[in-house]
Structure 1
Amino acid sequence: MVQSSKRSPLTWLVHATVLFLVVIWTIPTAGLFISSIRDKDQLSVSGWWTALSTSEQRMVTRVTVPKKPLQEDGLYVLTGNVFEDNKQGIVTRFGDSSLRPSEFESGKVAELKRELTLTVLANGDYKMTSPKAFSSRGKRIFYTAEIPPRFTLDNYREVLGSEGLGKSFLNSLTVTIPATIIPILVAAFAAYALAWMQFPGKALFIAAVVGLLVVPLQMSLIPLLRSYNFIGDIFGVGSKGYLGVWLAHMGFGLPLAIYLLRNYIAGLPREIIESARVDGATDFDIFRKIVLPLSFPALASFAIFQFLWVWNDLLIAMVFLGNNPDELVLTGRLRELLGSRGGNWEILTASAFITIIVPLCVFFGLQRFLVRGLLTGSVK
């Protein structure tokens, strides 16, 4: 009897859900990347989804007046092109006032005040004439142009060329690597104790760990900082430094790490642990030679999440390190680069992609362990 190969509706629903999640995560990422390589003038007037289409922009340029302007038939003449920085486009309308920037069509001769005439062609070439000498300041030309798609790496050059970016990159590594390793080591010992060792109050410890998962970071940050400053004054340790950042990240990461690792270690075969104890192995030997190697997928899974969270953190780093340029992390340096120019999307998008380079390398390097750690125990 041949079994039916048709898939159940639940299977199709699962596949559709996964596809939907992939799409809603991929589209914003693609939009962020496209925006990071677009021309900043086009980015400010149109969305990333119009990157491959011609955009209409309203721009202004000021006519440059040479020391000795040309003269034709008794008139002073100024010529040039409204497009700057090797940009190209098609001028559709122009004007000489911000109140009427599209008063004239391209190619027509505009009669202006003081017997001035102005002509702007579709390719951007302009010609201005006057019976009198031009003032040294020059006159502004407002124009509307259809600009073809333009992509550039200038946004990345501006961000990567900023002062102190390399130092901030190293500072982020100095904060992230210890703040990832320390919680894993501490949580591994605690998870083994809560999973396989018997001692009074074990259930209360497990309940406390679960309760700490819901404590908001913002609610506990100020008490933690005050406690750290108090202890620092007693032992003569400064209130600003890497030690405070490492301890803060360890404290906020330990509840989740202990909870995940405890559930994983508790699911290991009991026969292996009991056999080791019969052979005379101590708890430390069991943890070091059996539990730790078998728990590597779970350790790698948490390492990915902890690394991503610490690398992208700005709040804790600013609280415990301050604004010292020598200790500023990468996210803080990029925030300083934006400064009051928060509307400069080209800087923001390029900075975002620069910050995700290292996390992407970590994720793709450890993703096979992440999948193993999440699926272990699902099939018996």
Structure 2
Amino acid sequence: MDRVAGRKSALVWTVHLSVLFLVALWVVPTLGLFISSFRTADQISSSGWWSALATQERQLPAIRVEGEPELRDGLYVIEGTLFPRERSTLSAWGTSSLKPQAYQPGDVAELKDGMTLSVDDKGRYVLTSPDPLEGKRLPRIFATATQPPEFTLDNYRQVLVGANTGISIGQAFLNTATVAIPATVIPILIAAFAAYALAWMDFPGRALLVAAVVGLLVVPLQLALIPLLQLHNWVGIGKGYLGIWLAHTGFGLPLAIYLLRNYMAGLPRDIIENARVDGATEFQIFTRIILPLSFPAIASFAIFQFLWTWNDLLVALVFLGTGNDQLVLTGALVNLLGSRGGDWEILAASAFVSIAVPLFVFFAMQKYLVRGLLAGSVK
């Protein structure tokens, strides 16, 4: 009676709820980052991304009345607006920080020396004075306004092409792609040959090589950075794309060989033995049988390697450099954060640009991820 048809056990529901929680924990911040990248700086600073579609009320910074006075009917008049470019509606205003909502739109405030000030709901103000205003300290206006939802592409234009600031990550984006794509393909090509040899070819010392590969998985890459850089300088490849490709290849090979070898070792032996009986060479078996069958494992490693190389900063700084022509995306974002740390809208757009490609790669190949990672674990 414990397993009634149509009913799920408590363990199944627990697993489902846990998966939903983990998915929400990953998706919700990404969605918030995406929405924030299309918002203006004022909206981001005054409200959360979840209220992006709602009309918002916020306290505007104090604005001092300014302008050239005009003489009208014996009064000196200054006119202006609080919202030169925004689609905001004034809900309250005041002339003191202690009472920023003392007046309603259209009210007339009596100031010292006979001056009067009025502000309508569109933010247009009128200051009048019976005496000349030269040399006088004009009042400040503290306004509370409601602002409709507003979305803009200016953040992405500024990030990608440096509009209005000259600071962009377009070149860094290309540099990162130049590093990440070869640094993903090269270790796969080398590891596939090595994994096939360790899985299906008999030669002395094979077990020791497998043990060495497993041991290299736990070696921190920071341990090899300086010696490897010195070796690159001695060989003559120094700081450049070839050097960083080889560095990422070396750091990624142990995991690649381990995953692919486990997967290839779990393939049916009868297929390979029959191919050998039919006269196929080892290279033909590898290219026509092993590689097509090993695509899930190759795809799973490609995801990990691409994400690692795309988000890498340490290896890029050591083996590539910090010049504008060599700076990768993560380095450009660090510089952008240092020089424009208060522009949250620019940082949100930059961050989403940096994760857009990894997200696309992950979702395009994620169906092979679990199958490749579990390869060889069950016989």
Shift of 1:253: 1.4
Specify the alignment match of 1:61 in structure 2.
63
Specify the alignment match of 1:48 in structure 2.
49
- 2:196 is aligned with 1:197: no
TM-align CA RMSD: 2.9
- 2:175 is aligned with 1:176: no
Shift of 1:198: 3.0
Shift of 1:179: 0.3
CA distance in 2, matches of 1:170, 1:75: 62
- 2:104 is aligned with 1:106: yes
- 2:312 is aligned with 1:313: yes
Shift of 1:284: 3.1
- 2:247 is aligned with 1:245: no
In the TM superposition, what whole-angstrom CA distance separates every residue of 1:74-125 from its partner, at most 9, and x where no partner exists?
Answer: 22111222113233133423325xx547273334444445554333334322
Shift of 1:51: 2.2
Specify the alignment match of 1:71 in structure 2.
71
CA distance in 2, matches of 1:353, 1:150: 19
In the TM superposition, what whole-angstrom CA distance separates every residue of 1:327-364 from its partner, at most 9, and x where no partner exists?
Answer: 22233334434442123210111112222333333334
Specify the alignment match of 1:259 in structure 2.
258
Provide structure 2 residue ranges, at least 5 long, that are not aligned to the other structure.
Answer: none
Moved more, 160-169 or 7-16: 160-169
CA distance in 2, matches of 1:52, 1:6: 40
CA distance in 2, matches of 1:206, 1:109: 85
In the TM superposition, what whole-angstrom CA distance separates every residue of 1:49-96 from its partner, at most 9, and x where no partner exists?
Answer: 232332423323343413xx3223422111222113233133423325
CA distance in 2, matches of 1:112, 1:248: 72
Moved more, 273-282 or 288-297: 273-282
CA distance in 2, matches of 1:38, 1:223: 46
Moved more, 314-323 or 21-30: 314-323
Contact 2:262 2:375 in 1 (8 A): no
CA distance in 2, matches of 1:355, 1:291: 35
Number of positions where the alignment pairs a residue of Structure 1 with one of Structure 2: 370
Q: 1:153 to 1:15 in 2, by over 3 A?
A: same
Q: 1:375 to 1:200 in 2, by over 3 A?
A: closer
Amino acid of the structure 2 residue aligned with 1:204? L
Shift of 1:195: 1.7
State the secondary structure of the residue aligned to 1:87. coil
State the secondary structure of the residue aligned to 1:260. helix
Amino acid of the structure 2 residue aligned with 1:46? S
Per the normalisation by structure 1, the TM-score is 0.85
Per the normalisation by structure 2, the TM-score is 0.86
Identity %: 62
Amino acid of the structure 1 residue aligned with 2:158? E
CA distance in 2, matches of 1:116, 1:12: 71
Specify the alignment match of 1:167 in structure 2.
171
In the TM superposition, what whole-angstrom CA distance separates every residue of 1:109-165 from its partner, at most 9, and x where no partner exists?
Answer: 444455543333343221212321345997643333333332222212221221564
- 2:223 is aligned with 1:222: no
Contact 2:88 2:145 in 1 (8 A): no
